[in-house]
Amino acid sequence: MGILSSKLAAVKPSQTKAMTALAANLRAQGRNIITLSQGEPDFDTPANIKQAAIAAIEAGHTKYTAVAGIEALREAIVTKFQRENGLNFTADQITVGCGAKQLLFNALMASLDKGDEVAFATPCWVSYPEMIKLAGGTPVGLATHIDDSFILQPDVLRKALTPRTKWLMLNSPSNPTGAVYTRKDLEALAEVLRDYPDVWILSDDIYEHLVYGDAEFATLAAVAPDLAPRTLTVNGVSKAYAMTGWRVGYAAGPLELIKAMNTVQGQSTSHTSAISQYAAVEALLGDQSFLTNFRNAFEARRDLVVGLLNDIPGFECRLPDGAFYVFVACQKLLGSNTPNGQRLETDMDFAMYLLEEAGVAVVPGSGFLADGFIRISYAASEDELTTACDAISEAVHKLS
């Protein structure tokens, strides 16, 4: 009998983290590598937020907190939901954890029995299927297509729902496609969900503040208030406030579920760092003006990268409305040969070729359950992005 549990056998490590680690290894060997595989803003955490953390340390807020998070943070989150989403929660309907990731995990752990199905649109964030499996559930990917701007279509949802479906997970803006669901898109999905009263909705809104052009953020509990009693809304400070390492995410929803999620957390991590929680209060209630600065910088980078990539023969890249990723179709390049005579069979081969030849780390689409694509994160400086796209173009031109 081995040491590892059988449930882990089916769970894959994150490809995003694997590519980033490979890039770091090559860099340690002296290679000049540009890492566009990581989902992390390159901006520094704003100074007022750092100061709030320093003040928390000096005030002695360095002890255990309530499992659900400090009262001041849960009140700040109540205010955020009212101010930005028109959603009304009480503080006990809020729970705080180590990033949105942990809240998603807590929700799945608290709700899934073996064989329960969890549906989500693909391409999807690498962690959804693996977390669902860890929690004992069965992941059910629902394909979306570039021609539908990667938006889940209501008929596809209807066909996929079964008596075992416990959750539909929504993610807008989406990682990896950058798709943003309009109010109309969400209303169409809500219409289907009304026929399935046992299906709950998990709305992962972590990229809420990163929407561009005319696109507007919308969230299901606000678009369809009649579904709010079976919706969990998950968000966090990582992406909007450049606070990935502080590990603060939060979830809001029906009390029964929140209490069960607190039980999961109370028997695992207890809570996220007390200091980070004080910093998050400042993030949510302090100056919000830099959100627009971050957003504008990302939008300019998006336009730059999409322009450069669409000039590369064999690439097809739609202009994403949100997040900080471009999801590039590269099927036309699969089957071609590298200068060393290696045939590129899969998007993984292609991503490895770009790492070796161009010195650029990207993530293969297969990691997001979408073969024939690569995901490029544009959370990097315009200079780095231009250098990276030029190097990718040069590498692609060497293929035959």
Interface with ligand PLP (CB under 6 A): 39, 99-101, 125, 171, 175, 204, 206, 236, 238, 244, 249
How distant is the alpha carbon of residue 167 from its chain centre?
17
Q: Which two tokens stand for residue 10?
A: 């089916």
CB of 19 to ligand PLP, least distance (A): 13
CB of 379 to ligand PLP, least distance (A): 11
CB of 236 to ligand PLP, least distance (A): 4
CB of 396 to ligand PLP, least distance (A): 27
CB of 20 to ligand PLP, least distance (A): 12
Rounded to whole angstroms, how far apart are CA atoms 385 and 321?
Answer: 19
CB of 119 to ligand PLP, least distance (A): 16
Measured from the CB atom, the residue of 233 and 244 that comes closer to ligand PLP is 244
Measured from the CB atom, the residue of 236 and 359 that comes closer to ligand PLP is 236
Instruction: Name the residue with the smallest CB distance to ligand PLP.
Output: 99
Measured from the CB atom, the residue of 100 and 305 that comes closer to ligand PLP is 100
User: CA separation (Å) from 185 to 188, 213, 358, 363?
Assistant: 5, 18, 38, 28
Measured from the CB atom, the residue of 206 and 242 that comes closer to ligand PLP is 206
Measured from the CB atom, the residue of 125 and 327 that comes closer to ligand PLP is 125
Q: For 304-312, which contacts have Cβ atoms below 8 Å and span 24 or more sequence positions?
A: 304/378, 304/382, 304/385, 304/386, 305/376, 305/378, 305/385, 305/389, 308/385, 308/386, 308/389, 308/390, 308/393, 309/376, 309/389, 309/392, 311/393, 312/389, 312/392, 312/393, 312/396
CB of 374 to ligand PLP, least distance (A): 16
- Are 329 and 146 in contact, with CB atoms under 8 Å apart? yes
CB of 208 to ligand PLP, least distance (A): 11
Buried b (16+ CB within 10 A) or exposed e, 195-224: ebeebbbbbbbbbbbbbbeebebbbbbbbb
Measured from the CB atom, the residue of 366 and 386 that comes closer to ligand PLP is 366
Measured from the CB atom, the residue of 101 and 357 that comes closer to ligand PLP is 101
Q: Which two tokens stand for residue 310?
A: 């669409």
Rounded to whole angstroms, how far apart are CA atoms 342 and 315?
Answer: 20
Q: Which two tokens stand for residue 105?
A: 């995990």
Identify any residues that bridge with 142 across adjacent strands, giving them in sequence order.
Answer: 121
- Are 248 and 96 in contact, with CB atoms under 8 Å apart? yes
Measured from the CB atom, the residue of 204 and 357 that comes closer to ligand PLP is 204
Interior CA angle at 37 toward 238 and 330, to 5°?
A: 130
